[in-house]
């Protein structure tokens, strides 16, 4: 890293306060009109930047990283998930990668809980009915959904966000079950009265709601495969605020269409921003455009983390949120 201010290229428009602070601290190239970078834009940016600040919309694969100039020393991702970055290749090339953990946990858990409530209680369907002018009045059997209280929630991936969802779901009277590579600390398990399932298959077969909270890695790609989705009970709901790739979306659509699942709440999609049109036509699907962490407070916190990581690195220190290849 040069001793003068590093050149920081930011690929998307960030909150005003963050861009202002970045401009005070670094030489910055901002993306005023927020047009996503093409592959060529990324390669051009990496030929000049000392620090690249990408987001989930930038695919930094081995081929793109191979074209990085020798001056590029830090990729300070604006976001927690790093599945769009080939972290292994970056490290081989001596490029440090950082992310923004913790600060979006509560917002993402809130949105997850909103979906867990919205789908079984037919919230969006009811709202659409009212807006369409189609409501003719109350009836004892109209718009009946399903109760959440007392139901079993199966959390796939009991990291920070999984635990934050469990805390909320407890408040709504749900029984907490989870699958994780290993059990969480016994104190956390006790606090959440959570039941650990070593076998994902066995857990899936017994839950009323499944919520996905693991990162997308080669090991979790299609973790909820066609075979595993078939293990779910017909009355089960699937919620995903993690990454679309963790669920075989084609199989999910097939099962929803066939009535083999009760519904889904989806914030993420396998081929985002493309969304399977069949999903959008289903009343029992609530689909939102990757809004899990979309609060202004959260975005500012994320930006501040990015700044701390860049500043530490530029000052010759170890940035706090380094992502190591073997931790992916």
Residues near ligand 8YV (CB under 6 A) are: 55-56, 78-81, 104, 292-293
CB of 284 to ligand 8YV, least distance (A): 24
What's the closest the beta carbon of residue 54 comes to ligand 8YV, in angstroms?
Answer: 8
List the end-to-end C-alpha distance of the chain, in Å, as a whole number: 25
Residue environment code for 189-216, b if the CB has 16+ CB neighbours within 10 A, otherwise e: beebebeebeebeebbbebbbbbbbbbb
Residue recorded with tokens 């530490």: 312
- Output the smallest distance, CB 107 to ligand 8YV, in A: 8
Smallest gap, in angstroms, from Cβ of residue 103 to ligand 8YV? 9
Nearest residue to ligand 8YV, by Cβ distance, number only:
79
Q: In whole angstroms, what separates CA 221 from the centre of its chain? A: 14
Q: Which is nearer to ligand 8YV, 11 or 89 (CB)?
A: 11
CA proximity to 116, closest of 49, 73, 169, 182: 169
93 with 64: CB under 8 angstroms?
Answer: no
Nearer to ligand 8YV, 80 or 284 (CB): 80
- Identify any residues that bridge with 221 across adjacent strands, giving them in sequence order: none
**Both tokens assigned to 266:** 């989806």
- Looking at the Cβ atoms of 120 and 292, the one nearer to ligand 8YV is 292
Q: Kindly tell me which of 12 and 44 has the beta carbon lying closer to ligand 8YV.
A: 12
Tokens read off for 294:
């979309």
Residues 6+ apart with CB under 8 A from 22: 8, 10, 14, 28, 30, 303, 307, 310
What residues are paired with 7 via a beta bridge?
Answer: 27
Whole-number minimum distance, CB 36 to ligand 8YV, in Å? Answer: 11
Least distance to ligand 8YV, CB of residue 184, Å: 20
Closest of 174, 179, 173 to residue 200, by C-alpha = 179
Contact 43, 20 (CB under 8 A): no
Q: Which is nearer to ligand 8YV, 45 or 203 (CB)?
A: 45
Question: Given the complex with ligand 8YV, which of 101 and 263 has the nearer CB atom?
Answer: 101
Cβ closer to ligand 8YV: 107 or 125?
107
Please say which residue, 107 or 208, places its beta carbon nearer to ligand 8YV: 107
Least separation in angstroms between CB 293 and ligand 8YV: 3
The CB-of-213 to ligand 8YV minimum distance in angstroms stands at 11
Which one, 8 or 232, has the nearer CB to ligand 8YV? 8
Instruction: Tell how far CA 292 is from the center of its chain.
Output: 7
Query: Could you tell me whether strands 51-53 and 7-10 are parallel, antiparallel, or unpaired per DSSP bridges?
Result: parallel
Sequence-ordered strand ranges (E) for the chain: 7-10, 27-29, 51-53, 74-76, 96-98, 152-156, 175-179, 195-196, 209-212, 237-240, 263-266, 285-287
Q: How far is the CB of 249 from ligand 8YV (least distance, A)?
A: 17
């Amino acid at each position: 890293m040069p001793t003068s201010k590093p050149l920081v290229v930011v690929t998307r428009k960030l909150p005003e306060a963050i861009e202002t602070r970045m401009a005070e601290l670094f030489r910055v190239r901002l993306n005023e009109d927020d047009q996503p970078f093409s592959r060529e834009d990324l390669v051009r940016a990496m030929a000049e930047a000392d620090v690249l600040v990408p987001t989930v919309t930038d695919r930094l694969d081995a081929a793109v990283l191979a074209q990085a100039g020798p001056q590029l020393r830090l990729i300070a991702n604006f976001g927690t998930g790093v599945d769009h970055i080939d972290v292994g290749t970056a490290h081989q090339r001596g490029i440090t990668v950082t992310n923004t953990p913790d600060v979006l946990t509560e917002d993402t858990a809130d949105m997850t809980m909103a979906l867990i409530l919205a789908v079984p209680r037919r919230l969006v369907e009811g709202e659409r009915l009212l807006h369409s002018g189609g409501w003719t009045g109350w009836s004892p059997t109209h718009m009946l959904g399903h109760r959440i209280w007392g139901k079993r929630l199966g959390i796939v991936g009991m990291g920070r966000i999984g635990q934050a969802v469990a805390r909320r779901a407890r408040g709504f009277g749900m029984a907490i079950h989870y699958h994780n590579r290993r059990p969480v600390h016994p104190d956390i398990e006790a606090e959440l009265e959570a039941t650990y399932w070593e076998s994902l298959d066995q857990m899936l077969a017994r839950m009323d709601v499944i919520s996905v909270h693991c990162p997308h890695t080669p090991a979790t790609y299609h973790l909820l495969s066609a075979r595993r989705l078939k293990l779910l009970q017909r009355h089960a709901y699937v919620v995903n605020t993690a990454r679309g790739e963790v669920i075989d979306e084609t199989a999910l659509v097939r099962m929803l269409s066939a009535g083999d699942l009760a519904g889904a709440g989806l914030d993420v999609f396998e081929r985002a921003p493309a969304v399977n049109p069949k999903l959008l036509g289903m009343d029992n699907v609530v689909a939102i455009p990757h809004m899990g962490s979309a609060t202004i407070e959260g975005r500012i916190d994320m930006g501040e983390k990015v700044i701390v990581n860049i500043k530490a690195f530029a000052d010759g220190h170890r940035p706090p949120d380094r992502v190591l290849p073997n931790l992916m």
